[in-house]
Amino acid sequence: KETSKTLLAMTASRAATSSTRHQLPSKVGPSDPAATPIRASSLFRPVRSNQQYLKDISTCHELIKSGESYELCLTNALKAINSETSALNAYDIYKQLRTINPSPYGAYLQFGDTLGIACSSPERFLRVESNGKISSKPIKGTSPRSPDPSIDALLSSSLKNDVKNRAENLMIVDLVRNDLGRVCQIGSVNVEKLFNVESYATVHQMVSTISGKLQNHQSAIDGIAACFPGGSMTGAPKLRTMEFLHDLEQGRKRGVYSGSIGYISPNDVLDLNIVIRTAIVTGKDDESKVVSIGCGGAITALSESDDELDEMMLKAKAIVDATELAIMEKKKNNG
């Protein structure tokens, strides 16, 4: 009932929120590169074309209208494979990310000489503390940053009050509450922060925080089993929506992207991220290496197709930039 009331209230305020959003085009335009998402890159190409992605969004809308899903986290991947990436490794990209897109849940991992991960994730999937408190901080809602403070503040405010972003965030909050409720003490699950805006180097994000207290017989591993994969990367309802996403994404496995990286301690403490804003580097040094960037966004009944495509590319932009900077650095060092 509370969810329905909130959604109704947000729907009633849609006109007021839209008027705020519509102030932005006159203030934020092509002359402001920080607020203009890229649609193409000379280095990267989408696995599914932009035209196909737009068709997939339309399919998501049909599924929502028919009552099959409330929200689908549709994703794609950008790939670069050519002579310029042959000498790259994940650490080269990670160093650039640390400079241009620092994040609280970033990571660098290298597995042998065939798989490297350069992650600059801003999202916490799951944290379990020594006292049994378990928490999650799903992200749903993204806006670009601007170097102009007044425009940047307007972008942040517009994100916080945007009906579509609040609706998609709320749906995932309810999903995470349900997941945590499977392993937490009755009455302990609560929403600590709702629709909070966190600002990072390249984007504003809408973040909510949900927490609870694990039942005495439940472990941190039980918490992972109840909540994985993170609801912000699936949609709702989780299992049924994942079946649709498998078909929409043409059976292509997401791999590391949308999974989790972090630590699990022997004393039943853990901290895990959601693998987003990440470059995956595969292949050996003497072969053509592939750099892959997973990206996507939540599709709801209020989603506008072109806006969703722009948001997807905005999320990938920092990783694309870091890869291109790493290539430039390699060329410079090699004379």
DSSP string, 254-313: -TTTTS--EEE-TTS-EEEE---SEEEEES-TTS--EEEEEEEEEE-TT--HHHHHHHHH
d(CA 270, CA 126): 8
Question: Residue 334: what pLDDT?
Answer: 80
pLDDT > 90? residue 321: yes
The stretch 5-32 carries a mean pLDDT of: 36
The stretch 302-322 carries a mean pLDDT of: 96
> Do the beta carbons of residue 209 and residue 196 sit within 8 Å?
yes
Burial environment of residue 29 by CB neighbours within 10 A (0 to 12, 13 to 18, 19 or more):
exposed
From the candidates 71, 84, 123, 249, give the one annotated as an active-site residue.
Answer: 123
As a whole-number percent, the residues of the chain with pLDDT over 70 amount to 87
The stretch 277-298 carries a mean pLDDT of: 90
d(CA 129, CA 213): 10
d(CA 309, CA 314): 9
Q: Would you call 251 helix, strand, or coil by DSSP?
A: coil
> Do the beta carbons of residue 251 and residue 226 sit within 8 Å?
no
ω before 229 within 30° of 0 (cis)?
Answer: yes
What CA–CA distances, in Å, run from 73 to 45, 169, 257?
A: 20, 12, 13
Question: Residue 37: what pLDDT?
Answer: 45
- Residue 43 DSSP one-character state: S
The stretch 139-161 carries a mean pLDDT of: 97
Beta strands in 22-63 (DSSP E): 45-46
Instruction: At 215, list the tokens.
Output: 């039942």
Question: Residue 36: what pLDDT?
Answer: 43
Question: Residue 286: what pLDDT?
Answer: 62
- Residue 214 DSSP one-character state: B
d(CA 257, CA 279): 9
> Do the beta carbons of residue 283 and residue 72 sit within 8 Å?
no
Cα-trace Rg, the chain:
20
d(CA 54, CA 304): 10
pLDDT digits (tens, 9 = 90+) for 81-119: 777 888 889 999 999 999 999 999 999 999 998 999 999
d(CA 147, CA 318): 15
ω before 237 within 30° of 0 (cis)?
Answer: yes
Structural element, H or E, at residue 93: helix 90-100
From the candidates 71, 84, 140, 168, give the one annotated as an active-site residue.
Answer: 140
Q: Calculate the average pLDDT of the chain.
A: 89
Q: How many CB atoms lie within 10 A of CB 91?
A: 15
pLDDT > 50? residue 302: yes
Residues 194-218, buried b or exposed e (16+ Cβ, 10 A)?
ebebbbbebbbbbbbbbbbbbeeeb
Question: Residue 335: what pLDDT?
Answer: 67
In angstroms, the first-to-last Cα distance of the chain is 65
pTM of the model: 0.87
pLDDT > 60? residue 73: yes
Kindly tell me the number of DSSP H helices and DSSP E strands found in the chain: 10, 14
**Is 140 labeled as catalytic in the residue annotation?**
yes
> Do the beta carbons of residue 176 and residue 231 sit within 8 Å?
yes
Burial environment of residue 7 by CB neighbours within 10 A (0 to 12, 13 to 18, 19 or more):
middle
- The confidence band for 34, taking pLDDT boundaries of 50, 70 and 90, is very low
pLDDT digits (tens, 9 = 90+) for 129-140: 999 999 999 999
